[in-house]
Amino acid sequence: MVASRGKIFDRNGELLAGNSTAYSVFARPNAVQDKAYTAQFLAAALDVSYEQIYEKLTGSKSSEITVVRQAEKSVAERIAGSGLSGVYYARDNKRIYPYGDLACQVLGFTSVDQRGTTGLELYYDKYLAGENGEILYETDLVGVELEGATAAYLPATDGLNLRLTLDYRIQAIAEETMARVLESSHAKAAQCIVLDLSDFGILAMVNLPSYDLNDVPRDDLDALNALSRNSLVCDIYEPGSTFKIVTAAADIEEYLQGNPAAFSPQYVFSSSRTRSVDGTTIRCWSDHANGKHSNQTLAEALNNSCNPCFVDIALSLGTDTFYDYLEAFRFGKATGVDYSGETPGMLVPESAVRDCDLARIGFGQTIAVSPLQLACAAAAAVNGGYYYTPHLVSEIFSDDGSVREKTGGALAGRTVSEEASRILSSMLEGVVRDGSGKHAYIEGYRVAGKTGTAQKYENGHIAQGKYVSSFVGYFPADDPQYLALVIVDEPQGSYYGSTVAAPCAGEIFRGIIEVNDIQPYE
């Protein structure tokens, strides 16, 4: 009489979460005639404590108690043949995950009573859970079954199924890639998001380290909380230079709109390595020696990831205009993804922002975002300026195939014009072809993107030797379809996004090209 929990499939119909048959054993204490013998028999059959069962049978005020869940069929059959009064069993379900740790933080897991505890199992529990059936008995006032009475059965209603936007093939490729960099760089963590740029359906979402959903470490709550947390949605970080995509998009759009404060794509920025703002000095990562970073246009500033140029843009556009773009790109607010616990990020209130804050926001400091926010913002800058609500589930359907509800893919707003997006994308293609993103380059395919290397802070101060290496890239540059954000937290040795994260994106894109048989564009 236990409802079968709804199944979870990837976008191709591959089963990611299903059920195996188990049995639950119940007892109605008032109907048990020999409680001591019954407790002894059940304890031996179920390998549980006699004292625990006896206490339930004698001390419980409930009309029905659960003796054990998820017992094997042979055990249930032994109990059925025992002739014990007041004891019965019902079919139960045990949740199984065919791919073990694949997308474990996304899928989440259930409790012993098959209720969603984390991840999509929790967020969509009201659809997945179904409704258990009931067995109704005629009893007297104290709950003793009437002689000759018949039981009435109310059938269970099975749960509905989920079809995800995840592609298990791309998820596996991304997990394998990130596992290699996690090991080779001795990093603290490795993460990746892959987005479908047509509607922000999430094709892959990787958080490493991970755990096996079929062997959840329930006896170590600290470890379980850490391993099951989807940091791509729930945690924040300073994005660093990947954020320059947003600053460049704002400048290009304002230039096209005729704002005299904006810089044209042909404008040549000052070659000085530093900018002084509110008494603070902001430096480029490069020493600008031997003519490095001289005579830079916006495209070249993106190639070189030169901070001072983006300081100039943010200050020239001004707080009002720049914050309009931050709002359009949905910074400081949740994306609306269908997942519990999403963070809105951290953004200095517009009324409190100083020039030195604005200057640093321009190149990805003094702002904290979730990786999902950053991925969506980058996507909305290069896909023609369309910001969709990111989503993990595309439809909810019953076992007969009837679609009960379609979800996700709604257009949430516009960021920049298609022309600004096109110009920006051509510049970001140059970053991969000629600049810091060259390790993501794939011969015959127009890959574009931006690297990032951000220092970490602890207790309000820079943590020496601790960096977040990242790369956000997409392809094809002239018709964006797939976007990947790669983040490697605290890699040892080389820590630049160009050498640690960009190669991972290139590897993931090669995998996508192979599984989808995408032909070269050139």
What is the set of active-site residues?
Answer: 241
Tokens (6 digits) for 253: 């759009």
Give yes or no for a contact between 248 and 134, defined as CB atoms under 8 angstroms apart: no
Question: Which DSSP string corresponds to 320-332?
Answer: HHHHHHHHHTTTT
How far, in Å, CA of 108 to CA of 498, rounded? 32
Query: Would you give the end-to-end CA distance of the chain in angstroms?
Result: 60
Parallel/antiparallel/unpaired status of strands 8-9 and 65-71: unpaired
Buried b (16+ CB within 10 A) or exposed e, 17-51: bbbeebbbbbbbbbbbeebeebbebbbebbebeee
Instruction: Dump the DSSP string for 27-46.
Output: E-GGG-S-HHHHHHHHHHHH
How far is 432 from 439, CA to CA, in rounded Å? 7
Short-list 517, 520, 496, 499, CA closest to 241: 496
Checking 258-264 for CB contacts under 8 A at 24+ apart, the result is 259/317, 259/321, 261/316, 261/317, 261/318, 261/321, 262/313, 262/316, 262/317, 263/298, 263/312, 263/313, 263/316
Please give the Cα distance from 228 to 235 (Å, whole number). 13
DSSP 115-181: -B-SHHHHHTHHHHS-B--EEE--B-TTSPBPTT---EEE--BPPPEEEES--HHHHHHHHHHHHHH
Residue 230's contacts (CB-CB under 8 Å, 6 or more residues apart) are 105, 106, 119, 205, 207, 339, 341
